[in-house]
Every structure is written in structure tokens, then in C-alpha cells.
Amino acid sequence: MMQASARRPAVALASIGGALALWWLFTATGVIPAMRFASPREFADAFEQISSQGYADAKLWQHALQSCELVAMGFAVAVAVGVPLGLAMGWSPRAEAFFNPPFLLLRPIPPLAWIPLAIVWLGLGDAAKVMVIFVAAFVPSVINSYTGVRSIEPHLVEAAETLGIRRGMFLREVLVPAALPHIFSGLRLSLQAAWTTLVAGELVGALRGLGQVLSAAAQDIYPAMILVGMVAVGVCGGAMTLALAAAERRAMPWRAA
């Protein structure tokens, strides 16, 4: 048992290494037909191609940048509107009563279901994508900020009251910090939703972007490039998630590790 923690990375490496080896083996021996999937070599070639010469009218970093930019835009607006709204709804029964019904109606509609409507309204360009990303990222932010306010320990509120606090200071120094953990949960979910929605939107129709790479590669029947696209989606998504986690740790230095 003592070696468990040293053993873990070794096993992890072995596991991934083993999977890669199997990948190479299956594609080299034809167990997986070439039309269906790519070999490691073909993957490397496709990656090289899109990085240096470009594919689907742009290089990899340009596609990635386009995608990330749209996500950032939609996410930022959604959070800027959603978090304050959620906090307000959590604190004020009146705000909750007013905003809840439309919210409840719109909530069950999955974000991706907004794509066709967005396209009808705004065409196949970036505007439609940002709209859908906004819708996708908006809901989790509101809900989690709301929950954050509702789950503040009553004793903390009472303590603040008995110490003579007034509203402005209360909002700044008690309400928001207390709700921060939940707010960040909401941000995480919002980011996830935003990213998924962006990829889906670009798959449906776009001029540039990682989803567009996937779409073009599918049409060209180019499995290696599909794989490159998927890996790029994973890497970008992962990078943004880690960045958010870092921001979370910085914003809440009081949390036990």
C-alpha cells in the first residue's frame, strides 16, 4: 500500500502507453480498416498538415483561436448577466417570483436545440454561434449563483447583522464571498456548455473553427483529420477548464486545499 502513490503514475503511463500500442497494432495489422479510423502515423501526418499548411482554409491555431474567441465572448456576456441575476433572484423573493416563470419555461430546452432557431434568425455566421453560446452558458450561471445565495449559512447572516452591518457592505463582504464557491461551480458548467455548444454550432455550419475542421474532415472522409480535430477540441476545452480552476483557486484563497 505504501507504494500506491508512487505506483499510480507508473500504472497510468503504462495504461496509456498500452492503449497507444494497441492503437498502432490494430491499425497496422488491419484489424481496424483504414477507412474507419487513422493510424498513429496518419494522425501525425494530418496534424503536420493542418499545423503548417492548413486545412479547411486555415491553420490549426487559427481555427482554435476562432473557436476560443467565440466561446470567450459568449461566456463572458452570459456570466456578466447571469451571475448578478442569479444572486438577485436568490436574495430577493420578489425578483425570484418575477424571473422564475420564464426561466422555468426556457430551462428544459437544451442549448443545442437553439441552433436551428439562431440560424434562422442570424444566419450561419458568428452572431448565431455567440447567441447559442450565450444561452448555453447563461442558465448554469444563474442557477448556481441562486443556489449560492440560498445556501449561505444563516448563522453567518445573523453574525453580520449583530455586528451592525449595512446593506452595501453586506453584499460586498458577505453575500458574494459566501456564494463564490457555488458561483464558480456555475462558471465551470457554463464553460463546459459553452464549449460544447460552440463545437456543435460549428459542425452545423461555419467558415472557420475547430467544429468546422471536424465537419470538413467528415465530408472529405479523412479520419486522421477528424482525430486531429477531436484532440484539438479536447486540448482547448481542457486548457480553458484548467485556467478557470486556477482562477477559482486565486479567487478563494481561504479554501482548504
* Residue number, 2 or 35, with CB nearest to other proteins: 35
Binding mask 179-218 for other proteins (x = CB under 8 A): -x--------------xx--xx--xx------x--xx-xx
Task: Look up cell 482554435; give the residue.
Answer: 64
Q: How far is the CB of 229 from other proteins (least distance, A)?
A: 7
Binding mask 215-234 for other proteins (x = CB under 8 A): x-xx--x-x--x--xxx-xx
Calculate Rg over the CA atoms of the chain.
Answer: 23
Restricting to residues 127-166, name those near other proteins by CB under 8 A.
153, 155-166
How long is the chain?
Answer: 257
Torsional sign, CA 72, 74, 80, 83:
negative
Q: How far apart are CA 254 and CA 257, in angstroms?
A: 9
Restricting to residues 67-96, name those near other proteins by CB under 8 A.
91-94
Binding of residue 123 to other proteins (CB under 8 A): no
Restricting to residues 14-33, name those near other proteins by CB under 8 A.
15-16, 19
Q: How far apart are CA 79 and CA 140, in angstroms?
A: 9
CA angle 12, 16, 22 (to 5 degrees): 145
Binding of residue 57 to other proteins (CB under 8 A): no
Q: How far is the CB of 31 from other proteins (least distance, A)?
A: 15
Hey, how many other C-beta atoms are within 10 angstroms of the C-beta on 144?
24
